[in-house]
Structure 1
Amino acid sequence: MSATTFEQSVDQERLLVTRIPGPRSIELMTRKTGAVAAGVATTLPVFAVRAGGGIVVDVDGNHLIDLGSGIAVTTVGNSSPRVVEAVTEQVAAFTHTCFMVTPYEGYVAVAEALNRLTPGSHRKRTALFNSGAEAVENSVKIARSYTDRRAVVAFDHAYHGRTNLTMAMTAKNMPYKHGFGPFASEVYRAPLSYPFRDHGVDGHAAAARAIDVIEKQVGASNLAAVVIEPIQGEGGFIEPALGFLPALADWCRANGVVFVADEVQTGFARTGDMFACEREGVVPDLIVTAKGIAGGLPLSAVTGRAEIMDATHAGGLGGTYGGNPLACAAALATIAQIEDDGLVQRARDIEALMLERLTALQAADNRVGEVRGRGAMIAVELVEPGSNTPNPELAKSVAAAAHEQGVIVLTCGTHGNVLRFLPPLSISDDLLNEGLDVLDVAFRNLG
């Protein structure tokens, strides 16, 4: 696919005119160090000035291939003309009124779209927020209100956000939780299905294992919600074995527990379905979305069964900026582009290309323990040669080598040993192949 299908604002080629980082980026990083809190870290020491298609342009004129999409946010590209036009029109009309004071049609239209798009034909309601963490936290509020129970179960390797409650739900200590406690109470953790490390345990057996822990350590009668990422994001792009998610959803329904799918990273065509839970026909009670929802503007949502969503008292949900009109305009344009341009299929095409290339890499390098993922959400788990022992240093070194050659690559995983790839669906095959060529060279040079 050609990037011209999407946008022409940025030349779609990798170009290095200085070393990475260049002098202007180095200057700005010095200013950043002096002005920005030290806890706000950056993956690459370069400063962007333009972006579009599959390219990010830095202040020194370097064109970098984008295999990160701002962590799965810019699914339709960083400067989709459709999104830009919609936001420009809205900003000229008004930027804010607060939906809880004087509402506007854009919020209602986004809610209608999400009610239509999310899995299940049941009656639905939607509430809009700003960030993924905020939406996850509100899904728990809603579940507690509906069930009049307090306990929440999350899973090993989970990532749900940086608020106090979502930090409690997140499994990884550094950098997300370290030194920030005490955390919210009544949050419990169950074992996930992790096929690469589960020694042959299938999805149904893994679900039985998790349910046994939940029943013994929490008790179904105390449990408001089970919250799970259908494919984990920060935890390492872990896709549970077939049968795991449906078995959990069935158990929740049988026990009056709200089943919450956190699709913040997996939603909006990212995995080759509009939502990842659709692949196994799982219909969540509540689904949480953000990231790819609005073309780069801050927006998130909780969508779910009408009787659950309506259980909260009037005024119990909301926030000053939730469902901001600019973000709503961007979301409607993004959703239209995903549907009109066939981006669900585009994600599947990207999957086929990437899996072919990365599987060949795995065959040639025994430090590649597993290649996994779906759609444009693909990962490589790196290990010590011929073993399952995590190799975070190799992941860090490969990413750094790619960065030096103008390719944006991210790492993740509880052990930091996973390379993750989240290219925008607007990237061309040529750019994608070139980025993977750079990755191949990095592995050879680090052999």
Structure 2
Amino acid sequence: MTASEISPNAQLEIDKVNRYTAHNYAPLDLVLTSGEGVWVTDVDGNRYLDCLTAYSAATFGHGYGKFIDVMRDQMSKLSLTSRAVYAEGIGDFAEALTKLAGKDMALFMNTGAEANETALKIARKWGVRVKGLPQGAGKIIGMEGNFHGRTTTLISLSDDPVATADYGPFTPGFSLVPFNDIDALRDAIDDETVAVILEPIQGEAGIIVPDAGYLKQVRELTAERNVLMICDEVQTGMGRTGTTFRFQAEGIEPDLIVTAKALGGGILPVSAVIGNEDVLGVLEPGTHGSTFGGNPLAAAVGTAVCEELATGKLQENCQQLHPVLREGLEALIGRGVTAVRGAGVWMGVDIDPKIGTAKDVCVDLLAKGVLAKDTHGVTVRLAPAMIIGREEIDMLLRAFTEVINARWEAAA
């Protein structure tokens, strides 16, 4: 959008944010003021189909009634205690979440980055206490193109120059291999390797879906070499891909599961590391913690989220709408679109550079009433809420098709 298209109300807020906050984001020139279901509204009253959903944190949509009611009820009783005492509801949350994941223990944190850091710490402690490695010897292997967070430790796992530039020295003990290459992983694992961490589908990289069977190969290889498999399900988890966790679609059982974003119901930050006692049991009092991790308010909302997912209805909705969305987008391949990937209603659409950048397409989509975001300049990410219906999917496809066709014809 150009400056001339921005209303005075929106410009006032944009100028204030740019004046008083650090410039670590480059937002679209859109100022939102409210959200309901799959829709968001800006300060001028314009409505948009939300296909960003706060990078999948609002996977259930905005203002999900059950979650709001639970939050209000819990806030009137008790919001924060710290884990220095027991609080009612924490056990219910842990039980509900572990049952969804098929595990027996959970460790609650707040953000995805915090939970991923926690999983790495657990893996290294497991390496010493269980695998018998000497102190400081635990090596962890990640995947090229990964995104696990932006802390110093997590960018030490990254190969994205934008995320890593000027932030060294980096945390040692990490190495990367190509995603979806089991032979490269096999060659990289050695006797000091304690864990392999990967996203079942790489989100920030552009919704990169590995070949069928790859995750199963990783599970078999890590089990054979006595190495933990950590699935970062921060984006893929909580129903986003059509199953509660993506690893379940592949019929595997990782050692540790990291979840966040949608676990907070689009209301507050909640994250967790989920596993069995043979791994999570290496933690002892004082060896790890978080003031806000596992607070009563987060537990109440998180339990409600787990209850909704336990019905399977939203996951089924994503599965049913997947072919509709995918086929509609694939019809544009060769006319401004070069590739389409995804699972459920989570899609990555690669834009032909001949018609512009992915951000150009996202800006054009705003004019059509659709909010989406680009990644790496090439891919438009579509991540509507799981409650989306066929009517909204059709609207999204019409808008996307109109934008791509207009750019294709202009470039001809």
User: What is the alpha-carbon distance in structure 2 between the residues aligned to residue 20 and residue 264 of structure 1?
Assistant: 35
Task: Name the SS for the 1:288 alignment partner.
Answer: strand
Alignment correspondent of 1:375: 344
Decide which of 356, 375, 381 is 1:412's aligned counterpart: 375
Task: Name the SS for the 1:361 alignment partner.
Answer: coil
Is 1:111 the counterpart of 2:99? The answer is no
Q: Please tell me the root mean square deviation across aligned C-alpha atoms, in Å.
A: 1.8
**How do 1:24-423 residues align onto structure 2 when only pairs under 5 Å count?**
24-39=9-24, 41-98=25-82, 100-118=83-101, 120=102, 124-148=104-128, 149-174=137-162, 176-193=163-180, 206-212=181-187, 214-215=188-189, 219=190, 221-296=191-266, 297-340=268-311, 342-362=313-333, 365=335, 367-384=336-353, 393-413=356-376, 416-423=377-384
8 A contact 1:347–1:375 mirrored in 2: yes
1:171 Cα deviation after fit = 2.6
The residue type paired with residue 299 of structure 1 is V
- How many aligned positions are there? 397
Task: Name the SS for the 2:332 alignment partner.
Answer: helix
The residue type paired with residue 243 of structure 2 is D
1:49 Cα deviation after fit = 1.8
1:33 Cα deviation after fit = 1.3
User: What is the alpha-carbon distance in structure 2 between the residues aligned to residue 108 and residue 44 of structure 1?
Assistant: 41
8 A contact 1:20–1:406 mirrored in 2: no
User: What is the alpha-carbon distance in structure 2 between the residues aligned to residue 354 and residue 368 of structure 1?
Assistant: 14
1:24 Cα deviation after fit = 1.1
Alignment correspondent of 1:6: none
1:440 Cα deviation after fit = 1.1
User: What is the alpha-carbon distance in structure 2 between the residues aligned to residue 108 and residue 183 of structure 1?
Assistant: 37
Alignment correspondent of 2:402: 441
Unaligned stretches of 5+ residues in structure 1: 1-18, 194-205, 386-390
What's the TM-score once normalised by structure 1's chain length?
0.85
1:128 Cα deviation after fit = 0.4
Unaligned stretches of 5+ residues in structure 2: 129-136
The residue type paired with residue 142 of structure 1 is I
User: What is the alpha-carbon distance in structure 2 between the residues aligned to residue 169 and residue 403 of structure 1?
Assistant: 34
Distance 1:341 1:247, change over 3 A: closer
Q: Percent identity?
A: 29
Alignment correspondent of 1:197: none
Task: Name the SS for the 1:335 alignment partner.
Answer: helix
Distance 1:139 1:341, change over 3 A: closer
Deviations 1:236-268 (A, max 9, x none): 111111121111111111111110000000001
Q: Which range is displaced more, 434-443 or 20-29?
A: 20-29
User: What is the alpha-carbon distance in structure 2 between the residues aligned to residue 172 and residue 237 of structure 1?
Assistant: 16
User: What is the alpha-carbon distance in structure 2 between the residues aligned to residue 79 and residue 317 of structure 1?
Assistant: 33
Task: Name the SS for the 2:166 alignment partner.
Answer: coil
Is 1:22 the counterpart of 2:36? The answer is no
